[in-house]
Amino acid sequence: MSAVPLRNNKPAAAAIRSVTVLGATGSIGDSTMDLLRASPERYRVEALTANSNVAALAKLAKEFSARFVAIADASKLAELKSALAGTSTECGAGESAVIEAGARPADWVMAAVSGAAGLKPALAAVDRGAHVALANKECLVCAGDFFMQRAAKAGACILPADSEHNALFQALASGNRDELVRVIITASGGPFRTWKPADIEQATLEQALKHPNWSMGQKITIDSASMMNKGLEVIEASYLFALKPDEIDVLVHPQSIIHGMVEFSDRSVMAQLGSPDMRTPIAHCLGWPERIKGPAARLDLAKIGQLTFEAPDFERFPGLRLAFDSLRHGKGATTVYNAANEVAVAAFIAGKIRFGAIARLVEATLEDWIRGGNQGPMTSADDAISVDHVSRNKAAALLPQIALKAS
């Protein structure tokens, strides 16, 4: 049975739900804490984690009377304990403590630790059969088959917290899996949707960070500008919903009102609409199988006036094509795609490469991986982390020649 509850297997909602937030001080964590703050009678906080922001973590721990907190930076344990002196909150630090937070007995876990560091804590929650709201891309992009198989075996319930996947999750409830023809993931097109490829090549960091619709962190905003984020979402959707590459389409929708659609065999197409606000999919996950009151603006279609669509341009956005290529190749290629992109984006932010070189570095790293023949199935978190590490090193090694070609 799928770990994503598509239809007719909704459990009864608990009266008071215990909650853990892995990555409580990041952007997804902030939105999650806002929702918990709005319904204190429904939720009790079991555990919270942060990477290095002791002050923010301690403040949240006090506000929500968290039972356990973990800071990933092990050197900050004493500072965290000092900040929480006089409270009953247990403190931990380092990777093992963050994993412990995921393993603690909470009904619902938000997995929002970014990067490969989020994989093991999410698996700890999965292994005890929790409801896991998944906002960490690496769990699927780097270890999708392994992660979903482990979730199904443990009886965990995976709830997609990303807006597009949450839209598909809701739309898929309208039919059975064997009735599905395709899913359609929408994309705003980002700030460079109408730019010429030659102009995109020279785009500045400031220009890449001007997303037309969404307010997001720096990395994901740049990924949106390159449409690498949509490539990652294609890969995630494949693993989440057991889809083949040819069952996934991407459609550019500049207004970002329709977040995802599903076409069924009778040619009905079910769509999920809403204002572009990450709190909406998080609220859906947090309340599931019920619906809770969300803080996003109500949708006013008359005011919006029209919704438009266009096919994605693979010449403008080669990163999207590379995502489909890596998914078809399999055997670790999606892990390589993600790792190389992270190295490329960091290099772009640091001014080491042009914007257009991001996709070229990803492509070069993928080609090297495939040529090397060092591919095999992912059977553990350590396998995925190892491929991620090797790929980052290879991308870093290829960086100078990619930068030189672009100069």
**233 marked as part of a ligand binding site:** yes
Q: What is the pLDDT of residues 242-254, one digit of tens each?
A: 999 999 999 999 9
The mean pLDDT of 33-51, rounded to a whole number, is 95
Q: Where in the chain is the domain with CATH 3.40.50.720?
A: 17-161
211 is in an annotated binding site: yes
244: annotated binding-site residue? no
Widest pairwise Cα distance in the chain: 62
Looking at residue 214, its pLDDT comes to 62
Q: Does the annotation flag 62 for ligand binding?
A: no
229 appears as a binding residue in the annotation: yes
Domain 167-277+301-406 is in which class?
mainly alpha
| Lowest model confidence (mean pLDDT) among 96-110, 206-220, 328-342 | 206-220
Q: What is the pLDDT of residues 171-216, one digit of tens each?
A: 999 999 999 999 999 999 989 999 999 999 999 999 999 877 666 6
| Mean pLDDT value across the chain | 92
Note the pLDDT of residue 245. Answer: 96
188 annotated among ligand-binding-site residues: yes
State mean pLDDT over 36-43: 93
Tokens at residue 10, please?
Answer: 């909704």
Residue 7 has pLDDT above 60, yes or no: no
| 304 to 256, 274, 276, 388, 393: CA distances (angstroms) | 11, 12, 13, 42, 46
**Dist. CA 132–CA 178, nearest whole Å:** 25
Query: How sure is the predictor about 404, in pLDDT bands with cuts at 50, 70 and 90?
Result: confident
With a cut of 80, say whether residue 8 has pLDDT above it: no
State what percent of residues in the chain have pLDDT above 70: 95
pLDDT for res 375: 66
Place of tokens 């919903």: 241
pTM of the model: 0.91
Do the annotations mark residue 174 as ligand-binding? no
pLDDT of the residue at 13: 55
39 marked as part of a ligand binding site: no
| Residue 163 marked ligand-binding | yes
SS3 letters for the chain?
Answer: CCCCCCCCCCCCCCCCEEEEEECCCCHHHHHHHHHHHHCCCCEEEEEEEECCCHHHHHHHHHHHCCCEEEECCHHHHHHHHHHCCCCCCEEEECHHHHHHHHHCCCCEEEECCCCHHHHHHHHHHHHCCCEEEECCCHHHHCCHHHHHHHHHHHCCEEEECCHHHHHHHHHHCCCCHHHEEEEEEEECCCCCCCCCHHHHHCCCHHHHCCCCCCCCCHHHHHHHHHCHHHHHHHHHHHHHCCCCHHHEEEEECCCCCEEEEEEECCCCEEEEECCCCCHHHHHHHHHCCCCCCCCCCCCCHHHHCCCCCECCCCCCCHHHHHHHHHHHHCCCHHHHHHHHHHHHHHHHHCCCCCCCHHHHHHHHHHHHHHHHCCCCCCCCHHHHHHHHHHHHHHHHHHHHHHHHHHC
Cβ neighbours for 49, distance < 8 A, ≥ 6 positions apart: 21, 22, 23, 24, 57, 69, 70, 71, 72, 97, 98, 101, 113, 121
Q: How many C-beta atoms lie closer than 10 Å to residue 227's C-beta?
A: 29
Does 25 carry a binding-site annotation?
Answer: yes
88 among annotated binding-site residues: no
- Kindly indicate the confidence band of residue 399, based on its pLDDT and cuts at 50, 70 and 90: very high
Q: Does domain 17-161 have CATH number 3.40.50.720?
A: yes
> 39-53, 156-170, 206-220, 294-308 — which is least confidently predicted?
206-220
Residue 321 is predicted with a pLDDT of 97
All CATH 1.10.1740.10 domain ranges in the chain, comma separated: 167-277+301-406
Report the pLDDT value the prediction gives residue 215, as an integer from 0 to 100: 62
pLDDT one-digit tens code per residue, 355-388: 999 999 999 999 999 998 766 677 888 888 899 9
Q: What one-letter code names the amino acid at 192?
A: F
